[in-house]
Amino acid sequence: MSTTDVHKAVQEAVVGALGVSEDEASPDATLMDDLGAESIDLLDILFRIERSTGVKIAASDLGDYIQGGIPDDRFSDDNGIISAEGLEHLKTVMPQLDEGASLEAEHVIQHFTVQNLGDMVAQRAAAGAGA
Amino acid sequence: MSLEGRVALVTGGSRGIGRAISEALAAEGAAVAVNYRATKSGAVEVVKGITDAGGKAVAVPGDVAEYADAETMIKQTVDELGGLHILVNNAGISRDALIFNMEPNDWLDVMRVNFGGVFNCTKAALNHFMGERDGVIINVSSVMGERGWVGESNYAASKGAINSFTRCSAVELARFGVRVNAVLPGFAPTELVAGLIDKDGGKGILRQIPMRCFAQVEEVANTVVFLAGPGATYMTGALLTVDGGASTVLGVGAPL
């Protein structure tokens, strides 16, 4: 499956699960803030993606992917604001985020876009194909 | 046959209503995993009856009150019968007693098997059902879950829990292509309710049932087959009573 196909499949999953139009499920739309996805919607999206792409992602994987394996105490400071190290990692998985932004770790997932999810699935698909 | 190509798991499928459900699903062409906890010989007999008639069935051991067992049962069904489309949560026990005399474990045991079994097997089946976007769950509850009866507080509470859980699972799972319904039998003369008809052969109960007869286990099984099949594709969250009208009447429906 090509990267383009993966992104198409992710968009279709978002459209199908949330009942939004393809225009609304644009690459830069955030799943939670813009499209209003809740936990059951995310689950639906992930099961649809598994069905169409064969890539299995658990809802809990999303947070792990965003945080990139950086321990909590290094990902954010005592006030819950994402650290420089955290921001450095976020550039790779959520490149649309403003550099130097003051982001709360707890809320960063709300900025996760359709494009970000597509990238994640494509990465998993490539890793799976290579394994 | 309406269930050709479908695979069903029936918990507590070796006797009573569960046995009738196993046989009725098989008669409609479904391959059936007959779960049992204590009566292996019964399950083997049900399986033999189905295979002798040209159907496909396997016996699956496991205690529905244990989540690990539920997972194993689902896996064994998928491995041995090549899939899973229909889950019938039927396994149940009773420990009838007046609340005044009831031991704490009397309600806990009943709850763990009756409601716990529904929860465990439902949860264990979800990854498969949701991944396939295709699944039907039928919970065998009881009219006792909606009404009251002396000596059955623990049993009725466990069935009431099943009814609530049926509605909630229907709501949560609809968008994943999974339907969840319940059948609520009235009085069916099985071992489970033997105590109720000991006294006078059940005459005192029969007088309270508008149809004046007990449910045949096949009549309950027929409703399960209907809910599992192509005639019920728009049904989810329904609690269907199969009770000869027993729960419909006010009092006994006439002056005594």
Give the span between the Cα atoms of B47 and B112, in whole angstroms: 27
Instruction: State residue A100's pLDDT score.
Output: 67
Mean pLDDT of A52-73: 94
Q: Is the pLDDT of residue A130 over 70?
A: no
Kindly name the residue from B36, B67, B155, B234 that is annotated as catalytic.
B155
CB B105 within 8 A of CB B112: no
- Determine the distance in angstroms separating the CA of B176 from the nearest CA of chain A, rounded to an integer: 7
Given the cut 0.90, state whether the ipTM is greater than it: no
B133 vs A: CB within 8 A: yes
Nearest CB to A50: which of B131, B172, B175?
B131
Q: Does B149 touch chain A (CB under 8 A)?
A: no
Q: To the nearest whole angstrom, how far is the Cα of A74 from the nearest Cα of chain B? A: 34
Nearest CA in chain A to B129: A47
Residues whose CB falls within 8 Å of the CB of residue B94, separated by 6 or more in sequence, listed in order: B110, B152, B155, B192, B193
B183-228 per-position pLDDT tens digit: 999 999 887 777 777 778 888 899 999 999 999 999 999 999 999 9
Residue count (chain B):
256
Between B156 and A79, the more confident residue is B156
- Is A107 in CB contact (< 8 Å) with chain B? no
Where do we find the tokens 């459209």?
A: A15
Sequential DSSP letters for B46-70: HHHHHHHTT--EEEEE--TTSHHHH
pLDDT value of position B193: 75
d(CA B255, CA B167): 36
Q: What is the pLDDT of residue B202?
A: 86
Is B88:B140 a contact under the CB 8 Å cutoff? yes
* Residue B234 is among the residues annotated as catalytic for this protein: no
Contact (Cβ atoms closer than 8 angstroms) between residue A113 and residue A33: no
Q: Which residues of chain B, if any, have pLDDT below 50?
A: none
Using a CB–CB cutoff of 8 Å, tell me whether A40 touches chain B: yes
| pLDDT score of A101 more than 80 | no
Question: H-type helices in B133-249, by residue range?
Answer: 153-173, 194-198, 203-206, 217-228
| pLDDT attached to residue B16 | 95
Radius of gyration of chain B from Cα atoms?
18
Contact of B13 with B21, CB cutoff 8 Å: yes
